[in-house]
Amino acid sequence: MIDQTFDDGAQNERTALAWTRTALALLVGVVLATRLAAEPLGVVAVVFGVVVAPIPVAILALARRRYRRSHEALHAERALPDGKLPALVAVVALLLALLEVAYAVA
């Protein structure tokens, strides 16, 4: 149970809020890109949206877990979580870029 912040600056809490904003922005980006690309790309855009939209939701859940792990690690002086979450964000951004290239070509 998290009962207090780790430090006066609350860096871990600000980082958790940044991850939340990032995940929500990615979700909005996927939904809007899918909607914009639906007319010229048809089923491909819809499949993209159905497949990719759950990933930002997973990022949101993983960010909450990352916050808890970071909080515990800071109090126990253990290593902080790895870089898997930033890699997942990069994958979603790359997939969005690929959809937008396909939209521009079509």
Is residue 36 in a domain?
Answer: yes
Is residue 48 in a domain?
Answer: yes
Q: How many domains are contained in the chain?
A: 1
Q: Which domain holds residue 75?
A: 11-105
Phi, psi dihedrals of residue 53, rounded to the nearest 5°: -55, -35
Task: Give the integer Cα–Cα distance in Å for 85 and 92.
Answer: 11
Is residue 3 in a domain?
Answer: no
Q: Tell me: the pLDDT tens digits for 12-46?
A: 888 889 999 999 999 999 999 999 999 999 999 99
Average pLDDT score, the chain: 88
pLDDT band at 76 (very low <50, low <70, confident <90, very high): confident
Q: Which residue has the tokens 């912040």?
A: 5
